[in-house]
Amino acid sequence: MSFIYLTKEGFEKLKAELHELKTKGRAEAAQAIAEAREKGDLSENAEYDAAKEAQGLLEKKIAELDDAFSRARVLDESQLDTSKVVLMSKVEVRNLKVNKVFTYQIVSAPEADLSQNKISVDSPIGKGLLGKKVGETAQIQVPAGVVEFEIISITF
Protein backbone atom coordinates (compact mmCIF):
# COMPACT_ATOMS: atom_id res chain seq x y z
CA MET A 1 0.00 0.00 0.00
CA SER A 2 1.42 3.36 -0.97
CA PHE A 3 0.79 6.26 1.36
CA ILE A 4 -0.50 9.68 0.39
CA TYR A 5 1.28 12.37 2.37
CA LEU A 6 -0.84 15.40 3.20
CA THR A 7 -0.65 18.58 5.20
CA LYS A 8 -2.99 18.79 8.17
CA GLU A 9 -5.10 21.20 6.10
CA GLY A 10 -5.23 18.78 3.17
CA PHE A 11 -6.17 15.89 5.46
CA GLU A 12 -9.00 17.89 7.03
CA LYS A 13 -10.24 18.95 3.58
CA LEU A 14 -10.28 15.31 2.40
CA LYS A 15 -12.10 14.24 5.56
CA ALA A 16 -14.73 17.00 5.17
CA GLU A 17 -15.33 16.22 1.49
CA LEU A 18 -15.76 12.52 2.24
CA HIS A 19 -18.21 13.28 5.07
CA GLU A 20 -20.17 15.68 2.82
CA LEU A 21 -20.51 13.10 0.05
CA LYS A 22 -21.48 10.28 2.41
CA THR A 23 -24.17 12.33 4.14
CA LYS A 24 -25.57 15.13 2.01
CA GLY A 25 -24.49 13.67 -1.34
CA ARG A 26 -26.08 10.29 -0.70
CA ALA A 27 -29.26 11.87 0.66
CA GLU A 28 -29.58 14.07 -2.44
CA ALA A 29 -29.00 11.10 -4.75
CA ALA A 30 -31.64 9.04 -2.95
CA GLN A 31 -34.09 11.95 -3.14
CA ALA A 32 -33.50 12.35 -6.90
CA ILE A 33 -34.12 8.64 -7.45
CA ALA A 34 -37.30 8.73 -5.34
CA GLU A 35 -38.64 11.74 -7.25
CA ALA A 36 -37.89 10.11 -10.61
CA ARG A 37 -39.49 6.83 -9.47
CA GLU A 38 -42.73 8.68 -8.69
CA LYS A 39 -43.02 9.75 -12.33
CA GLY A 40 -44.15 6.36 -13.51
CA ASP A 41 -42.82 3.55 -15.69
CA LEU A 42 -39.14 3.03 -14.88
CA SER A 43 -38.42 1.29 -18.19
CA GLU A 44 -38.85 4.54 -20.12
CA ASN A 45 -37.94 7.05 -17.43
CA ALA A 46 -34.84 9.03 -18.47
CA GLU A 47 -34.83 10.98 -15.19
CA TYR A 48 -34.64 7.72 -13.23
CA ASP A 49 -31.78 6.45 -15.40
CA ALA A 50 -29.92 9.73 -14.98
CA ALA A 51 -30.44 9.72 -11.21
CA LYS A 52 -29.18 6.12 -10.95
CA GLU A 53 -26.13 6.99 -13.06
CA ALA A 54 -25.41 10.03 -10.88
CA GLN A 55 -25.69 7.81 -7.81
CA GLY A 56 -23.19 5.37 -9.33
CA LEU A 57 -20.72 8.19 -10.01
CA LEU A 58 -21.18 9.48 -6.46
CA GLU A 59 -20.45 6.03 -5.02
CA LYS A 60 -17.36 5.73 -7.23
CA LYS A 61 -16.08 9.10 -5.95
CA ILE A 62 -16.79 8.04 -2.34
CA ALA A 63 -14.85 4.79 -2.88
CA GLU A 64 -11.88 6.73 -4.32
CA LEU A 65 -11.87 9.17 -1.41
CA ASP A 66 -12.26 6.32 1.12
CA ASP A 67 -9.20 4.68 -0.42
CA ALA A 68 -7.20 7.92 -0.31
CA PHE A 69 -8.30 8.56 3.27
CA SER A 70 -7.22 5.09 4.37
CA ARG A 71 -3.76 5.68 2.85
CA ALA A 72 -3.39 9.30 4.02
CA ARG A 73 -0.59 10.25 6.39
CA VAL A 74 -0.24 13.74 7.86
CA LEU A 75 3.29 15.07 7.69
CA ASP A 76 4.70 16.77 10.77
CA GLU A 77 6.36 19.87 9.35
CA SER A 78 8.59 20.22 12.42
CA GLN A 79 10.31 16.96 11.44
CA LEU A 80 11.11 17.99 7.87
CA ASP A 81 14.53 19.05 6.59
CA THR A 82 14.79 22.65 5.32
CA SER A 83 18.28 22.23 3.87
CA LYS A 84 16.83 20.82 0.65
CA VAL A 85 13.52 20.72 -1.20
CA VAL A 86 11.29 17.90 0.05
CA LEU A 87 7.59 17.14 0.03
CA MET A 88 5.73 20.00 1.81
CA SER A 89 8.56 22.52 1.25
CA LYS A 90 7.66 26.08 0.35
CA VAL A 91 10.26 26.99 -2.24
CA GLU A 92 11.04 30.49 -3.44
CA VAL A 93 12.59 30.28 -6.90
CA ARG A 94 13.73 32.69 -9.57
CA ASN A 95 12.91 31.84 -13.16
CA LEU A 96 16.24 32.81 -14.74
CA LYS A 97 14.79 33.27 -18.23
CA VAL A 98 12.23 35.92 -17.24
CA ASN A 99 13.94 36.99 -13.98
CA LYS A 100 10.73 36.58 -11.95
CA VAL A 101 10.42 35.14 -8.45
CA PHE A 102 7.77 32.53 -7.65
CA THR A 103 6.90 30.67 -4.46
CA TYR A 104 5.57 27.12 -4.69
CA GLN A 105 4.67 24.54 -2.11
CA ILE A 106 5.50 20.97 -3.10
CA VAL A 107 2.51 18.80 -2.18
CA SER A 108 1.06 15.37 -2.94
CA ALA A 109 -1.06 15.08 -6.07
CA PRO A 110 -4.45 15.25 -4.27
CA GLU A 111 -3.52 18.61 -2.73
CA ALA A 112 -2.11 20.21 -5.88
CA ASP A 113 -3.80 23.52 -6.73
CA LEU A 114 -1.90 25.90 -8.97
CA SER A 115 -4.21 28.78 -8.03
CA GLN A 116 -2.75 28.48 -4.51
CA ASN A 117 0.79 27.84 -5.81
CA LYS A 118 0.65 24.23 -4.60
CA ILE A 119 2.31 21.99 -7.17
CA SER A 120 2.35 18.23 -7.24
CA VAL A 121 5.50 16.39 -6.28
CA ASP A 122 4.76 14.29 -9.38
CA SER A 123 4.74 17.27 -11.78
CA PRO A 124 7.83 18.09 -13.87
CA ILE A 125 8.57 21.19 -11.77
CA GLY A 126 7.92 19.36 -8.49
CA LYS A 127 10.24 16.50 -9.49
CA GLY A 128 12.86 18.93 -10.78
CA LEU A 129 12.99 20.90 -7.53
CA LEU A 130 13.16 17.89 -5.19
CA GLY A 131 16.49 17.52 -3.47
CA LYS A 132 17.80 20.93 -4.55
CA LYS A 133 19.43 23.27 -2.01
CA VAL A 134 19.43 27.06 -1.67
CA GLY A 135 21.68 28.57 -4.34
CA GLU A 136 21.41 25.60 -6.69
CA THR A 137 19.88 25.81 -10.14
CA ALA A 138 17.33 23.32 -11.44
CA GLN A 139 16.96 22.80 -15.18
CA ILE A 140 13.50 21.39 -15.72
CA GLN A 141 11.97 20.06 -18.91
CA VAL A 142 8.40 21.34 -19.26
CA PRO A 143 6.09 21.17 -22.30
CA ALA A 144 7.26 24.64 -23.43
CA GLY A 145 10.95 23.70 -23.23
CA VAL A 146 13.61 23.84 -20.53
CA VAL A 147 13.10 26.22 -17.60
CA GLU A 148 15.88 27.17 -15.19
CA PHE A 149 15.01 27.92 -11.59
CA GLU A 150 17.44 29.22 -8.98
CA ILE A 151 16.50 28.13 -5.45
CA ILE A 152 16.29 31.28 -3.29
CA SER A 153 14.83 29.90 -0.05
CA ILE A 154 13.21 26.81 1.47
CA THR A 155 10.70 26.99 4.32
CA PHE A 156 7.63 25.18 5.63
CATH-assigned architecture of domain 79-155: Roll (3.10)
Q: Where are the domains of the chain?
A: 4-74, 79-155
- Grouping H, G, I as helix, E, B as strand and the rest as coil, residue 102 is strand
pLDDT at 31: 94
Tally Cβ neighbours within 10 Å of residue 106. 24
Task: Give the architecture (CATH level 2) of 4-74.
Answer: Orthogonal Bundle (1.10)
| Whole-number Cα distances in Å, 137 to 55, 124, 128 | 49, 15, 10
Contact 133/152 with Cβ under 8 angstroms?
no
| Confidence check: pLDDT of 84 > 70 | yes
Share of the chain above pLDDT 70, in %: 96
Residue 38: predicted pLDDT:
85
Decide: helix, strand or coil at residue 57. Answer: helix
